[in-house]
Every structure is written in C-alpha cells, then in structure tokens.
C-alpha cells in the first residue's frame, strides 16, 4: 500500500502543524514521517508529512479536494504525491560517464525505486555502449554552435513525447536556454564539479588547481537560467594537497560528483526537497 | 519568555503526533520545534516538542497535570522542561585539561546558556589554576586505590550539597562505582578518546597506534556501570597515517574530544537526547 | 618509457637515503618520487623511490644485480618493480556486486592501469551478467560447508593456472583457509564493511546498528589467517544517526566500501604499500 | 640537540635530491625527514630536509656558507633554519576571541614550541582580560577611519621594536595597507571565515547563509596586498543544512577557524611551508 506525501510551504502562523497532523489523523491516516522547518527571518513555514494510505478514509484521488480548504486557510503552496508514483526521467550526459554509470548501477540495484529512466540523451555517441549495457534507450542529439537552437528543440520534443518530469544533467556540458529551463522549474538537476559558489563555469578543477585550494568539492543544484546559480541541493568535499595534478583532482572529484548527484536525485524522487527563493529545504 | 519542552517515548500508535500537537495548539501554544522518530523494529515512538509559553493558556506549573491524562492514554515516558531552567553541573577532570578549558571558554562565550557550572572536581591539583582563571570553584579530591571508596563518598556528598544534576567527565581517569553511576542515570556524560566500541579502556591512542588504524575517533556517551559501554551520544573521526606517533594521535584526538564532548553536553542541556535501551535518539 | 620503483625496509641507519638516491643519480636516473619513513620506536626505515628509466645507464634486467650490494650493506628487505608491469588479478565476489562494478568501471575508465583482470570468481551465479557486461571471464565455484576444501582447491588451481599475483575480495563472504592465505602473503586485499577493529566478523552493519554508533566505516586490509585482523591499508567513515535502519547503513556503507577498496587496490598496484609487522606504511 | 632544516625551491633538474642528501650525509648528518615535490607543469622542484646536528661535522653557523656552492649550482631559493629557534610572534585580534584563546591554550600546553608570543595587539579592549589571564602583553591600538594611517604606523613600530617575525591575524577585522603587508612577506597568517575563494570580504557566514550552501569552511592563508587572495595554507569544512541560522554558522565556523589557523601557524613554525607563486607547498 502506498503512502501519501504532502509538501507544504506557507507564511508562518500558529497551529499549522497541529492542523495538518489532525487532518491526517482524523481520516485514520498513520503518520510515518513529519518534519517541519520555520524560517523565522523570512516568516515562512515548511512541512513534509508522509502517511500510509492503509485504512485512510479518503480515497486517493479525493485527497486533494479534501485538503484544499485547509490549504486555502493557511495560504499554502502545496503538492501531494504518492510513494508509488514513478518519476519519468531523462539523463543528459556528454563524454564523462561516471555519473551516468553510477546512477544506472544504483537504479538497477534498487536504490532509486521512484525513478523511471526513459532515456539517455547526449551530444556525443560515447554513452551509447553504456546505455546498451544497461538496456536504456539512447538518443544522440549533436549540438554545434550553429545547430544549438534546433538541437534543443529536438531535445524538448523528445522530453515532451516521453512525458519527462525530471531531467538529470549527469555532466552534460551544454548550457540550456532560458526557455528550456523555464519548462522544467525545479525539475532539472545538475551536478557541478566544484564547491559552488567557487569556480563557476568551465573547468572548475583547473580553476581549483590554479587557486591552490586545499579542498575540492562538488555541488548538485536545480538549474535556473543563470549558469551554476540555482538552488543548491547537496555538496560534498575532499582534501587535496600540492601534490595533486589537475588530472588527480578530476579523478577524486568524480567520486564526489557521483555521490552528490545521487543524493540530490534520490531526495527529489522521495519528495524531500522544497525550494524557497534560491535555496532549498531538504528534509532528508 | 521561556519555552516548554516535552520529551516523550512510548509504544508506537496512530495519532500520537496529532494528539500532542493538538494539545499544545488548543492551549494557544506556538510550536517552535517538533521532531519525532519511530523505531519500527522496536515499535517505539519518540518525540520532542518545544513551544513558546507566550500566550499559552496553562500556567507553567500546571502544565504537567494538564498533560498527564494524554500521557497516560498513550503509556508515555515523558519529561517536561523549560528553556530557562539552568542545569546545575559539575565537571570532573584529571590531568588533561583541554576539554575543561574548551567547556569553560564556550560557557563564557555564551555557547552553553543552559549550564550552571557549580564546581570542578579533580583527583589532581593541575586544574586549579584553570578554575581560578575562569572563576569557578575547584575541589581536589585525591583518589588512591585504598581511599577510593571514601573519596567517592566525598564526591557524591559534594554533588548532593550542590544539587548537581549533570556530571561531565571531561577526561576524568577514574572508574566510577556502580552506586555512583546509579545515582545519576543518563546524567553523567563521559568523553572517551577512541571511536567506540574500538579501543575500550586504557590508553586508546596507544591501542590505535599498535593496531595501525588509518582513522582515529572520539566518543561521548552516558555513563553506565559497564566501562565505556553506555549509550553513545556523539562521535567524530580524523584521518591519520603511518607517520603519526602516539603523541601525534593524542594531540589530534584532543581536537576531536573537545568538539565531541561539547556537542553532547549542549544537546543534553537543550533536552535533545532521549535514551532507548543502550542507544540514543538525538533530535539535533 | 617505464619507471623503476624500489620498495625498501631495513634497520634505521645513517646514510640510507643518501646512498639510495646517489645509486640512482650516478646511473643517470631521474628521480620522480622519493618518500621515506622512520619508525623511531621500532628502529626501522622505509623507503619508496621511483625513477625514470629514460637515460638510465643500467639495463632494466640488470638493475637488481646492480642494487644488491647496497641492499646487503644495509640489510634491506627490498623489491624492484617496473611501472609498465601489469599485475595479474582475480576478483572474488559473492552476491553484493557494488564493489565489483566499481572496480570494473574504474578499470575501463583507465583508473587502474596496472591491473590485468584475469577473472571473476564467485560462489554464486549473481555476478555472471556483470562479468559478461564488462567482458571479463566469470568462474562460478560453489562453496558448501562439505565441499569447501575441494572448492578452495579448485580456486587455487585456477589462480595458479592464470598466474594470479593479486586477489581482491570484493565482498566475498567465505573465509579463506590459512593455506590459501599463506600462498598469497600481502597479496589478498579484502574489504570489510566496518571500521575495524570494531565489528569483526558477520553482519557488521547490524552490529553497528545494535551498538548505536553515530559513525560507520569501511576498512580495506591485507588478509592474514586471523579473520579481519590483517594489516589495515585504508579506512573511511560516514555519519549516521538514530533514523538510519540497518538497510540504510548497508547502502551508505556501500559508498564507503567502493572507495576504500579502490584506494587499497590502486596503492597496491602502484607499489605504494609496505608492511611492517601487522601495520602498513602507505606512501600515497 | 637541535635539528637543521633546509627549505629549497629551484628549477627542476636531475640529481638535486641526491646532491642535497649527500651533502648532509657526507658531513655525518642524520636525516630525520626529507620530502620533495616536483611541479612538472612549472618545471619547479621543492624540498624540505631536516637533519640532526648531533655529530654533524659543520658548526651550526658555518652551514650556510658550506651549502652555498651547491645552492648556486642548482639556482636554488633556499632558507636554513634551526629547530630550537623560536619565532617572535604577535597576534592581532579584534572582538572575536576564540582563535586567540585557542592559540594561547595550545601554546601553554606545549603544542606551539617554536612560538615566542611577544604581544597581543587589538583595535578593541575586549582581549585585554584574556591576555592578562594568559600572562601575555596586551596593546590596544584603536583604529578609526581617520586614524588608520597613524594607527598602523604605531603597530609597525611595535612590531619592529619587538623584532616580530610572524604576525597572526586571529580574526583581526582591519585591512592592512600594502606597505604593512610588504614588510612581512609570507609572514602574516590570516584566518578567513569562509571556504575561499567563495565569500571573500565581509560577513562570509551571512553570505553563505544567503547563498544556501550545504557546507561551510574556513581558510588560513598568507596575507598579500589583495584582500583574501593570498596563498592558501589550510582549509577545512563542516556540513550544515537549512535549519542553521547565521548565528549557528558563526558558532560552527569558529570550531573550524580554530583548527585551521592553528595548523597554519604550526606548519609555519615548523618550516613546513614553501610558497610558489600564489600557492603553497605544505610538507606536513
């Protein structure tokens, strides 16, 4: 039996937690997880509540209507999900395949149960054998400076045809147009190979090497129109020292990227992320 | 205006979260933090809820009576605290003074607002200047093998006279008797200088050196009668390698000990720790 | 052009570093890396020196004879390697395939250039598709309590036939006999899914869960006859808390295991590890 | 008996390591530590060698002259130090005293044996009791926008009078003039409370909060004329999440700052740091 998940953000006010938990309890729902967060400075309240539908007195497709009055009362932004819904996902990749491999291995191992991977899209043919190896459809959409608009149009058509709800940029080295980004708000997750906001843009490992930092990092974030500026979901770091070449940084960084992207994707699929302005609340 | 804090553990059942949040809300309490945890395996439910007393309709000293029926209904173990209550604390120390110094500095800097340090007790005179430096009473209670029982009796008298509610063993190298421990259940916090359960007992850094581990650690835990076996509150680790001598481990370890003990003390004072069997739930 | 690598351990004495570096320099060798370590307590000296054979005045197959007098003078234990020699490797695995996958991906990506993977041996058929996926020979050798001796004999025959020099136990859940272990001294690398010496033996994640630790770990080590007691090569840790189930620990631990085993294998292949008693010196 | 320490940087060439180690060995020096690093891209070689003067055939004050020909041969930049030389040090601080306290405690505990702390200089009176507590001279030099030039002149006079060789900015919130900085090249160590190059300048914790990063950091570096741009010596990071306020970041960050500044100071005193352009080689 599936669970229902409510993600809520609204102006902070007394009684929201009590009202929402009571809403579930009165309809015989068994609350499995409830987490809330108050941003006192901004006067905002955030909540994630998950309950079992077993014995819940409201049919699944009537829950939204049932909840709406309460949501209206507290001026909530809210979304209702069900734990057995799979998210139709496309993975974009260029020539570095470690994140792609990692996601596909974890997917097969059952670590991404909410993910329905509908295809791998790349501007290069390199990932084709990997896709075949894992039995996922591969679509090559070459991107040249002069064909970029057309290429992106084709990508977006593919996404629409497949009903894609989540785009993972697993080291995809093309900048998406604002129009593309606007079509998937908080639905495109990118892995950037630096500890943002340090080393935005191209070749962050080379930038880190030049700067002489003693720690490198990786950052997963939702994509917005501004390059590498979207809400950060997860970051991690690793120690380096003067002996490490740029190539060493690349290799060590890949181990960070894998895990940092995976966590972001997983939390997104588990409906654990709320955006507030350009920041995230992650109820991990 | 102070906050009220309820710590609850009970058999898991539908409706506890709703009932408790409603209890607060109906009496006009503004919930500031609410965290719960269900141990599905053990069928246990844990909750910490903190609300502002500002505007709360029940006077402070009547809250317990008001809450009791609900507690009984759900067979709760529960404790009610108030955020402005200071915890009368004694610090025990032997000859390593880094943790003592750290706690006293943080205390003065306002990082331990809930702590009322009533005295430093030691089996050596070394900490006396430190106590003087920070203006805290120092009591030397020498402990010899043949005077141990008498010494401990004196220590316990001091604690009783001062109404001590929390004992911090900040590198105190004497084993407390089961009777002493029994008098302060979940109220004695020890810092052990290893990553427990590895390297129980004496000289854990020397043990770690001999074993050739690549990472060392520190562990803060509540003291029970069994040596170094009490519920773990916090741990942290640091990388080492073959070049590190035992003395190096001691020094690096001290930086871990400081932070790991501090976090445990702070969480205890903030009423964020619940014990379940020999484990802890920390609502940090 | 390849490099020569000397690994040296001997009683500590003045002039060893000078003598060895001079040995290389006088024969026109360009030293690329030189690292030494003195264990003052034990009075032992360890050294790793790597130099380019380009322009070196001694032919590759005559270097050992040329070096021997110096080695004798200082009573050295020593080994000479060349960076272009590939190490014939077998990977043993049972049913958890994440480490196997990780090693094979890294191998293909060029992160294990010194590794010649000659086969995957398992007591279960599960890894067969993975082996096929990566084009590596797979050999199933079922192990039952009553067939263990025969099975191990077959394994050892396979290893001998293939001239295996390194055995990687990538989550192989059978205990090797002392005879097997003795045949490959410092040549069998195991990954143990705990922070050794804590949680030796079976189900370390379940042990960690029961103990209530706040950090879990993974350990790679050379295998000796005593279970999980061999010289530790590498360890890493990750934070957990009371919310994590045993299954969560398993999953998080797998990310540690992957990296910790990989590093050990890589350092072994790069001839960066020296054993001293039951400890390692790793010139990473 | 003291040790001699040579720090060397020069164009990379065959035979440097051999020549230097032989130099020591031929004069009956017992090499205790030798570390070298080649920056292949830049064609530069770096070395640190430490040997016991016990039995060394060259008197301490003649070593420089003895070494000079070799240094000239290889076009070395080099410095000779002795392990028993204490470095005359001044600590600058404003109103945050945690780093000051930490350094003074470690100094007293014997963790900074090479440090001769000659005074604490501050633009505020806050640190005065701390200085008194630890028995160190305190000098208040108020700095106002219109008195800045005069104030700095007084600071520099104090430093000259005391023969200061190392200035530690232990959270000193004034920007030093280029002239001041130029007088102490690679001799002013600052702690910046962010993970540089992210969050340069004022209020880095507030900047980190606004950005919504999931990890914060601290950076110790040598001061150059460009604000927060000097060669990085050490960095460390800590995880945070959406629940942390700016004040929480400040507090957690202080634990990073303490350790990151201490390590930099210690390595500087132990002559383990070499600068190359705007980066450091740290032979830790």
The DSSP-derived string for D151-187 is: HHHHHHHHHHHTT--EEEESS--SPPPHHHHHHSTT-
- At D207 the pLDDT is 97
- At C46 the pLDDT is 97
Cβ of A37 within 8 Å of Cβ of D281? The answer is no
- At D174 the pLDDT is 95
For residue A239, give every residue at least 6 positions away whose Cβ sits within 8 Å of its Cβ, in sequence order, or none: A214, A215, B239
Q: At A159, list the tokens.
A: 């996404």
Residues B85-91, mean pLDDT to the nearest whole number = 97
ipTM > 0.90, yes or no: yes
- Catalytic positions of C are 228
In the numeric block, the tokens 């591969």 are attached to: A138
- At D37 the pLDDT is 93
Which chain C residue lies closest to A102 (C-alpha atoms)? Answer: C102
Question: Which residue, among C38, C210, C242, would best test binding to B if mutated, counting the most B CBs under 10 Å from its CB?
Answer: C242
Q: Is position A228 annotated as part of the catalytic site?
A: yes
Give the residue from C132, C134, C78, C126 showing the smallest Cα distance to C107.
C134
Residues D191-215, mean pLDDT to the nearest whole number = 96
Which of D97, D98, D255 is facing B259, going by the closest CB pair?
D255
In the numeric block, the tokens 């090569």 are attached to: C233
- At C284 the pLDDT is 86
Asked if the model's pLDDT at residue C266 lies above 90, the reply is yes
Contacting residues of D for C36, CB less than 8 Å apart = 34
Cβ of C18 within 8 Å of Cβ of D24? The answer is yes
Give the residue from B216, B224, B275 showing the smallest Cα distance to B246.
B216
Cβ of D18 within 8 Å of Cβ of C21? The answer is yes
H helices, E strands: number in chain A = 8, 13
Structural contact between residues D272 and D264, judged by C-beta atoms closer than 8 angstroms: no
The highest-confidence range among C29-33, C138-142, D15-19, by mean pLDDT, is: C138-142
Give the pLDDT band (50/70/90) at residue D63: very high
Asked if the model's pLDDT at residue D284 lies above 90, the reply is no
Give the pLDDT band (50/70/90) at residue B62: very high
pLDDT tens-place string over residues C38-63: 998 899 999 999 999 999 999 999 99
Residues D74-85, mean pLDDT to the nearest whole number = 97
Q: For chain A, what percent of residues have pLDDT higher than 90?
A: 92
Asked if the model's pLDDT at residue B273 lies above 90, the reply is yes
- At B223 the pLDDT is 98
Give the pLDDT band (50/70/90) at residue B104: very high
Tell me which of A32-41, A81-90, B168-177, C158-167 is least confident. Answer: A32-41
Question: Which residue, among D241, D259, D270, would best test binding to B if mutated, counting the most B CBs under 10 Å from its CB?
Answer: D259
Residues B124-134, mean pLDDT to the nearest whole number = 92
Backbone angles phi, psi at C118, to 5 degrees: -95, -10
pLDDT tens-place string over residues D268-280: 999 999 998 899 9
- At B133 the pLDDT is 83
- At A40 the pLDDT is 86
Q: Does C17 touch chain D (CB under 8 A)?
A: yes
Question: Which residue, among A126, A171, A255, A257, would best test binding to C if mutated, counting the most C CBs under 10 Å from its CB?
Answer: A255
- At A134 the pLDDT is 86
Which of B199, B212, B233 is facing C280, going by the closest CB pair?
B212
Cβ of C279 within 8 Å of Cβ of B197? The answer is no
For residue C49, give every residue at least 6 positions away whose Cβ sits within 8 Å of its Cβ, in sequence order, or none: C5, C6, C8, C20, C21, C24, C31, C33, C34, C35
Tell me which of A31-40, B107-116, B219-228 is least confident. Answer: A31-40
Asked if the model's pLDDT at residue C1 lies above 90, the reply is no
User: How far apart are the C-alpha atoms of C154 and A53, rounded to whole Å?
Assistant: 54
Q: What is the pLDDT along chain A (284 residues), one digit of tens a residue?
A: 899 999 999 999 988 999 999 999 999 998 989 999 999 889 999 999 999 999 999 999 999 999 999 999 999 999 999 999 999 999 999 999 999 999 999 999 999 999 999 999 999 999 999 899 889 999 999 999 899 999 999 999 999 999 999 999 999 999 999 999 999 999 999 999 999 999 999 999 999 999 999 999 999 999 999 999 999 999 999 999 999 999 999 999 999 999 999 999 999 999 999 998 899 999 98
User: How far apart are the C-alpha atoms of C156 and C164, rounded to whole Å?
Assistant: 9
- At D2 the pLDDT is 94
pLDDT tens-place string over residues A145-175: 899 999 999 999 999 999 999 999 999 999 9
Residues C94-116, mean pLDDT to the nearest whole number = 96
Give the pLDDT band (50/70/90) at residue D40: confident
- At B1 the pLDDT is 83
- At A99 the pLDDT is 98
Q: Does A278 touch chain D (CB under 8 A)?
A: yes
In the numeric block, the tokens 């998080």 are attached to: C252
- At B134 the pLDDT is 86
- At D41 the pLDDT is 86
Which of D41, D245, D280 is facing A242, going by the closest CB pair?
D280
Cβ of A36 within 8 Å of Cβ of B36? The answer is no
Q: Does C9 touch chain B (CB under 8 A)?
A: no
Residues D82-106, mean pLDDT to the nearest whole number = 97
Contacting residues of D for B101, CB less than 8 Å apart = 105
Cβ of A255 within 8 Å of Cβ of C251? The answer is no
Cβ of B98 within 8 Å of Cβ of D105? The answer is yes
Asked if the model's pLDDT at residue D114 lies above 90, the reply is yes
Q: If you average pLDDT over every residue of chain B, what do you get?
A: 96
User: How far apart are the C-alpha atoms of D233 and A212, rounded to whole Å?
Assistant: 9
Of the residues A39, A126, A228, A241, only one is catalytic, namely A228
Domains and CATH numbers, chain C: 3-82 (3.30.70.260), 87-282 (3.40.50.170)
- At B41 the pLDDT is 86
User: Residue C246, Cα to own-chain centre: how many angstroms?
Assistant: 28
């Amino acid at each position: 039996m599936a669970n229902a998940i409510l993600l809520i953000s609204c102006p902070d006010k007394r009684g929201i937690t009590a009202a929402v938990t009571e809403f579930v309890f009165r309809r015989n729902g068994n609350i499995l997880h409830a987490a809330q967060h108050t941003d006192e400075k901004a006067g905002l309240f955030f909540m994630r509540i998950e309950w079992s539908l077993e014995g819940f007195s409201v049919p699944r497709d009537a829950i939204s209507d049932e909840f709406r009055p309460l949501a209206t009362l507290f001026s909530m932004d809210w979304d209702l999900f069900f734990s057995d819904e799979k998210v139709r996902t496309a993975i974009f990749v260029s020539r570095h395949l470690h994140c792609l491999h990692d996601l596909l291995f974890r997917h097969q191992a059952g670590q991404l149960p909410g993910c329905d991977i509908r295809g791998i899209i790349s501007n290069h043919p390199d990932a084709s054998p990997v896709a075949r190896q894992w039995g996922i459809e591969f679509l090559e959409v070459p991107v040249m400076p002069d064909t970029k608009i057309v290429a992106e149009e084709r990508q977006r058509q593919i996404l629409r045809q497949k009903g894609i709800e989540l785009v993972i940029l697993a080291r995809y080295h093309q900048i998406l147009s604002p129009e593309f980004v606007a079509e998937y708000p908080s639905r495109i997750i990118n892995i950037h190979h630096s500890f943002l906001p340090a080393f935005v843009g191209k070749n962050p490992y080379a930038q880190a090497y030049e700067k002489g930092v003693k720690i490198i990092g990786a950052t997963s974030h939702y994509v917005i129109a501004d390059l590498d500026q979207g809400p950060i979901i997860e970051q991690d770091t690793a120690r380096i020292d003067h002996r490490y070449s740029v190539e060493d940084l690349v290799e060590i960084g890949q181990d960070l990227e894998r895990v940092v992207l995976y966590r972001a994707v997983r939390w997104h699929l588990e409906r654990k992320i709320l955006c507030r302005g350009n920041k995230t609340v992650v109820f991990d």
